[in-house]
Amino acid sequence: MVTARQRAREVTERAILEEARRQLAEYGAAALSLRAVARAVGLVSSAIYRYVSSREELLTRLIVEAYDALGEQAEAAHAAAMAAGASPRGRWRAVWRAVRTWALAHPAEYSLIYGSPVPGYAAPVETVAPATRVGWLLVVIIGEHGRAIPGPGAPPVIAPTAVPGLDAAIAPAAIAVWTQLIGTVSFELFGQYDNVVTDRASYLDYVAEAAADFVGLPVEDGGPA
Amino acid sequence: MVTARQRAREVTERAILEEARRQLAEYGAAALSLRAVARAVGLVSSAIYRYVSSREELLTRLIVEAYDALGEQAEAAHAAAMAAGASPRGRWRAVWRAVRTWALAHPAEYSLIYGSPVPGYAAPVETVAPATRVGWLLVVIIGEHGRAIPGPGAPPVIAPTAVPGLDAAIAPAAIAVWTQLIGTVSFELFGQYDNVVTDRASYLDYVAEAAADFVGLPVEDGGPA
DNA sequence: AAAAAGCAAGAGCAGTGCTCTCCGAATTTG
DNA sequence: CAAATTCGGAGAGCACTGCTCTTGCTTTTT
């Protein structure tokens, strides 16, 4: 039996999350205030604690949402490229660009997940699964079309469960290019490339290409599109 | 004429910065409170505004300090390797390790400079010079011993003033490896490598080696030391 | 119909950044 | 040397934050 109370609860809960997302996007994570959210949804400040146990819990929910939104965007771009019959490199490029595009469109959300963690904040368990989606996409492409190329000697120890089904010889390389992708987008977003890199879009393409070489994706005929 | 007032002012100013550094390291940037700093140095809360105009200004000073400390550590490591007659790769490795070591020893300071910027916070002019020190070190080594290796096609446009005296063909590669260094250290520090990379020290060595290959540093006989 | 659970409201605590006014002491000016 | 000025410290106050606790009222369950 769905009671009127349960329905009302879901409505308010959704309203709270929606408003929180709005304020996060507009003012950033540091300025996100439970009182302000409560006010905006028509609640008195103390009543919001019936729906969210603390500010940190709210942030955790937003983190999960952000990871999922980014992962979904990247996966959608990958699927679209696949459907269009794109080459491995074409799909690779599509994923890289999708991550950058999403980050530029949602800077506060991106900063929330890839910026400095709040001190004393340990990422809860529910954040780890969505956090791996983008990395997994890269791993999938590498696993299908990459090959270990002669690189630096013995690869360091990687937790085997992290990338099952992937040739252990390219696992470190996969993690390195994943780092490069997020690092490059972060540097652009966080202003580190100001007065350094002018054309950021084509710079990302350049880095994506170099990364594709590094993990041994087959070379294309025409070069970047 | 050095008056007693001036001397007293400098003493309090130094005390404020020192205490702020302490609190930053202990509680993180988000928890840094002007009132708490004032209390600790024996000032009433309003009096601290005679020395620092705002919380943001204090943070800016700490940012500059952090950039300088990191840059100095990296440069010292480089100089020491140089004095010990290390190869280009040996010096390269020394710089990479120094950055990681400093970051692990000063996580709050590192997060302050490479984490997500405070919303609405535009890095002031005085932060850009110290921010480039680590990048410059890499550029120096690359400029002396690197060579453009056959990579992805046309390099993207880079502001020429950013890396003067460097072959334009490797400038993008230099920026990419700088991004990789900071990105790798950041990922480790921010918990992105939890359950993924087990031996982070040797993983960094691996990435450093791959980066050295990428910018064409001459290969060594013995491999990583 | 009675009991239990759920939710909103209000007051309150301890903390924050920042401003303004006041006052005494140090410094510069005449 | 005395007067004028500057400067630092103190206190009160404003508007805000996260969070807790108690008090009522309404919905749901027994």
Judged against a pLDDT cut of 80, whether residue A93 lies above it is answered with: yes
CA quadruple B178, B205, B196, A154: dihedral sign = positive
Judged against a pLDDT cut of 70, whether residue B163 lies above it is answered with: no
Q: Which residue of B has its CA nearest to A25?
A: B119
Q: Are B207 and B95 in contact (CB under 8 A)?
A: no
Q: For residue A118, give both structure tokens.
A: 């709040």
Judged against a pLDDT cut of 70, whether residue B162 lies above it is answered with: no
- Complete DSSP assignment for B67-87: HHHHHHHHHHHHHHHHHTT--
pLDDT digits (tens, 9 = 90+) for B51-92: 999 999 999 999 999 999 999 999 999 999 999 999 999 999
Cβ of A29 within 8 Å of Cβ of B162? The answer is no
Judged against a pLDDT cut of 80, whether residue B164 lies above it is answered with: no
pLDDT tier, A7 (very low <50, low <70, confident <90, very high otherwise): very high
Q: For residue B124, give both structure tokens.
A: 């002031």
| B179 Cβ under 8 Å from any chain A Cβ | yes
Of B115, B156, B199, the CB nearest to A157: B199
| A129 Cβ under 8 Å from any chain B Cβ | no
Of B119, B128, B187, the CB nearest to A28: B119
Q: Are B163 and B101 in contact (CB under 8 A)?
A: no
Mean pLDDT of the residues in chain B: 91
Q: Within its chain, how far is the Cα of A100 from the centroid?
A: 10
pLDDT digits (tens, 9 = 90+) for B165-203: 677 888 899 999 999 999 999 999 999 998 889 999 999
Judged against a pLDDT cut of 90, whether residue A223 lies above it is answered with: no
| B161 Cβ under 8 Å from any chain A Cβ | yes
pTM, two decimal places = 0.94
pLDDT digits (tens, 9 = 90+) for B110-129: 999 999 876 556 677 888 88
Distances (CA, A) of A65 to A183, B17, B73: 21, 38, 38
% residues pLDDT > 70 (chain B): 91
Q: How far is the CA of B5 from the C1' of C24 (A)?
A: 15
pLDDT tier, A121 (very low <50, low <70, confident <90, very high otherwise): low
Instruction: Tell me which DSSP letter residue A116 carries.
Output: P
How far apart CA B66 and CA B72 sit, in angstroms, is 10
% residues pLDDT > 90 (chain A): 73
How far apart CA B9 and CA A125 sit, in angstroms, is 49
Q: Are B110 and B70 in contact (CB under 8 A)?
A: yes
What's the average model confidence in pLDDT over A42-66? 97
